[in-house]
Amino acid sequence: MRAVLLGPPGAGKGTQAVRLVEKYGVPQISTGDIFRANIKAGTELGKKAQEYTNSGKLVPDELVCDLVKDRLMHDDCKNGYLLDGFPRTIFQAEQLDKFLEEMGQKLDAVINFEIGNEVLIERLTGRRICKGCGAGYHVVNLPPKVEGVCDKCGGELEQRKDDSRETAENRLSVYEESTAPLIEYYSKTGALKNFNADQDPDVVFAEIVAELGE
């Protein structure tokens, strides 16, 4: 299975990725992991990426593509992989298609999670963290027994700045501008598979497996 995960923050990509990797026995590949691995190993590509990250600049698309293509040549990718966070732009998608064509391969699916912004904002802003022990909760999906109080240590629960509505709206705006155009791109290639992410995770997973096959 060679697949790409698409969807806005809060759509449940991480939850499904874990299950899909286990189901199909393929590695989950993210650009963040690739950057860290190459920087740690001191590869030439890693050194180039570090120059950009150290100066606070975005790693250029060309270098991101080179790093991903290098990763896809590893032995553990022979039977497939699950790309998470790549491609993020049309240029990256085109480079991936070109690479796959050269390798005599193609994507089996681009798994797109569809969900409304208000539901996403509720998910993204509902997280609460215990000041004492760091335990995590969600006001809707995993609420504490007593509002604002940690079940484990009785500590006070707080909402972090990264979980504010303003931050959530900004993250969704960035997604719409940079990554959402990929939906149109992949719909034209026939690889796009849309799934309603506003359902129980078990239902979403079952629908994806039914589409991809056993």
Q: What are the catalytic residues?
A: 13, 88, 127, 160, 171
Number of Cβ atoms within 10 Å of the Cβ of 124: 21
Residue 213 CA, chain-centre distance (Å), reads 22
Residue 76 CA, chain-centre distance (Å), reads 20
Question: What are the helix (H) ranges across 55-139?
Answer: 61-72, 90-102, 117-125
Reported residue count of the chain is 214
What contacts 19, CB < 8 A, 6 or more positions away? Answer: 205
Given a contact cutoff of 8 angstroms between Cβ atoms, the answer to whether 3 and 87 are in contact is no
Number of Cβ atoms within 10 Å of the Cβ of 211: 13
Question: How many CA atoms lie less than 13 Å away from 172 in the CB half-sphere?
Answer: 21
